[in-house]
Chains A and B, each alone.
Chain A
Amino acid sequence: MNEPLRSLHRFWPEVVLTVGLLLVVLIDTIRARGRDVANWLLTMATLAAAFVLSVRLGAQSSGLFEGMLALDPIGIFFKLILIGSSLLVVGAFRFDGSRELRGLGQGEFYALMLAVTLSNLLMAAANDLAMLYLSLEMVSITSYVMVAYLKGDRLSNEASLKYILFGAVSTGAMLYGLSLLYGMTGSTSLPEIRQVLASGLTDANRLTVPSTSGAPTCTRARPRPSPPSCPWPPRRPGSRSCCGSSSAAWPWRAREPGIWPGPSTGRTC
């Protein structure tokens, strides 16, 4: 029951970003003079704090929130890159004196920047298919909104329309594939999926496509460029062909279920 509290100790960058996001939204509702400057300062401070907290996370690897996230050195490395690039963007962005950006709400820009950074951090550490898909969509939806940020601009509108349609269709197709992955392995947790896959799927357990089954015993493989003559494993006297022995030694490359029937130049039995 204390798992969330324990995970929170190594989750401070994301917590700081969420709090900063909410504060920016709140400050943006106040109609005061210096709110844009205050928002800029708050965003920079939040990102800098998240950067420092990410540096201090330490190098040991651990799972957070019951395996929803995995925190390891390479994940922290990517977190630093992502937060750093957000810092550069916010630091380099100037609203004053720009003709295109006149009349646009600045608070929304800062809130979207913080949200996209938060979802990037989640995506860098995601360790479960549900978490992966959720953080991916968080990044996408925030980016769709940011592309449409120049209101009244035809190019911005059209770009965001095309982006959201292509993005939604491709993530839909990806989701269909993820559901098949869940069906094959029976789990949405990435380590469990890896375990199932590493234990070796049998040939019948693989996604097989309609294939030819005409040849008597030797399964027809597409002619592979290398190795040309199967130097290893050495041909055993009992084996009928090098293609057959390699299928015994390499279960992963055993049979390429190809849509294309093997041409007559393929291996002969």
Chain B
Amino acid sequence: MITLPHYLTVSAALFTLGLLGVLTRRNAVNVLMGIELILNSANLNLVAFSRFGPGNLQGQLFAVFVIVIAAAEVAVALAIVLTLYRLRRTPNLDEADFLRG
């Protein structure tokens, strides 16, 4: 019998894997992939709660907005990463160190 905590466990695994990607990767595009994993885990949570919990659609609508926002955010982030590559010839985050004190 598949219950709510099963879905929550999958989503927690996605969340921690996304966090691991954000923390360890050097490449900016790869860090963005980790962020997408985190957003997907939250979406999975919302849909699972909507299915097993009160039965309203608020969670699913929230998830739709999250998807839209994720698309906008990735577009802006990639524009910034492309500018970084144009200016520095590298997509690696630890080589962007001008602002080091």
| A and B in direct contact, judged by CB atoms within 8 A | yes
Q: Does A161 interact with chain B (Cβ within 8 Å)? A: yes
Interface size range on B against A: 35 or more
Which A residues between 160 and 190 are near B, CB-CB below 8 angstroms? Answer: 160-162, 164-165, 168-169, 172-173, 175-176, 178-180, 182-183, 186-189
Do the beta carbons of A175 and B54 come within 8 Å of each other? no
With a CB–CB cut-off of 8 A, which chain B residues contact A158?
Answer: 84, 96, 98-99
Main secondary structure of the interface of A (DSSP, over half): helix
CB contacts (< 8 Å) of A188 on chain B: these are 58-59, 62
Within 63-82 of B, Cβ neighbours of A (below 8 Å) are at 65-66, 69, 72-73, 76-77, 79-81
Whether A175 contacts B84 in the complex (CB less than 8 A), given A134-B69, A168-B73, A186-B53, comes out as no
Q: Is A148 located at the chain interface by the 8 A CB criterion?
A: yes
With a 10 A CB-CB cut-off, give which of A129, A145, A175 has the most chain B CB atoms.
A175
What is the CB-to-nearest-CB distance from B89 to chain A, in angstroms, rounded to a whole number? 12
A157 within 8 A of B: yes
Give chain A's interface residue range (CB within 8 Å of chain B).
35 or more
Q: A176 near B87 (CB under 8 angstroms)?
A: no
A188 to B46, CA, bound (A): 10
Assess whether A152 is interfacial by the CB under 8 Å rule: yes
Given A158-B96, A172-B18, A172-B38, verify A164-B76 contact (CB < 8 Å). Answer: yes
Query: A133 within 8 Å of B by Cβ?
Result: yes
Asked if A161 contacts B45 (CB within 8 A), the reply is: no
Smallest Cβ distance from A122 to chain B, in angstroms? 13
Residue of B nearest to A156 (CB): B83
Contact A130 B65 (CB under 8 A): yes
Name the residue on B nearest A164 (C-beta): B77
B96: chain A residues within 8 A (beta carbon): 158, 161-162
- Indicate the member of A151, A154, A189 with the most B CB atoms within 10 Å: A154
Residues of B bordering A, CB below 8 Å: 8, 15, 18-19, 22, 28, 31-32, 35, 38-39, 41-43, 45-46, 48-49, 53-54, 56, 58-59, 61-62, 65-66, 69, 72-73, 76-77, 79-81, 83-84, 87-88, 93, 96, 98-99
Task: With A148-B79, A172-B38, A176-B42 given, name 14 new contacts (CB 8 A).
Answer: A144-B80, A157-B87, A168-B35, A169-B22, A175-B39, A175-B42, A176-B45, A179-B43, A179-B45, A180-B45, A182-B49, A183-B8, A186-B56, A189-B58
